Amino acid sequence: MKRGNLNEQVLFLISFWLPVAVQMGLIFYFSSQPSGSPALERFPLPAGPGHLGGYGLLALLLYRAFNKGFLGWNLRAAGYTFLAAFIYGITDEFHQTFVPGRQASVSDVFINAVGIALALVVIRFMINGWFYRRCYNFSRKISDL
């Protein structure tokens, strides 16, 4: 990051990295719940789709932070995203071994990886597809005013 105004740096950290930290915190919170806890019982998704969605959302937020937005596909940001989210998933499964009634699962790590990869595919298609062209054209029309 270029050296600049401290307020700009703080704003960057808050706007791009705070959502990542919140999502990681939510994942940690749910994985800290003992088996049969009310929080897990009331969660609207079964475990598999919950992992898929939770890590997919984490991947979206990480890509946005590493790439400083969604404009333009960045293979390096995608690689960092996959690596960071995948490692977080592994450490989260390890963390569950210390929670009563919970255990680590290789299948959960695999589901997490699928969610991460699907999110990156969606980002790739959004950036190169109809959605991106529509947003780009809209932003050009606004800037022409």
Output the DSSP codes for 24-76.
HHHHHHHHTSPTT-HHHHH-SS-HHHHHHHHHHHHHHHHHHHHHTSSSS--HH
Domain that holds residue 75: 6-144
CA angle 25, 119, 41 (to 5 degrees): 45
Hey, what amino acid is at 60? L
User: pLDDT, tens digit, for every residue of 79-90?
Assistant: 999 999 999 999
Query: How much is the CA Rg of the chain, to the nearest whole Å?
Result: 18
Residue 48 has pLDDT above 80, yes or no: no
Look at residue 71 in the predicted model and tell me its pLDDT: 82
Hey, what amino acid is at 64? R
Residue 64 has pLDDT above 60, yes or no: yes
Structural domain contains residue 1: no
Measure the CA–CA gap between 4 and 86, rounded to whole angstroms.
32
Residue 8 has pLDDT above 70, yes or no: yes
Structure tokens at 135: 């947003």
Measure the CA–CA gap between 122 and 111, rounded to whole angstroms.
16
Structural domain contains residue 85: yes
Residue 65 burial (C-beta neighbours within 10 Å; 0-12, 13-18, 19+)? buried
Looking at the 3D structure of the chain, how many domains does it have? 1
Structural domain contains residue 102: yes
Measure the CA–CA gap between 144 and 131, rounded to whole angstroms.
20
Mean pLDDT score across all residues of the chain: 85
Structural domain contains residue 137: yes
Look at residue 5 in the predicted model and tell me its pLDDT: 80
Q: Give the pLDDT mean for 15-34.
A: 93
- The structure's pTM equals 0.82
Sequence-distant (≥ 6) Cβ neighbours of residue 84 within 8 angstroms:
62
Structural domain contains residue 94: yes
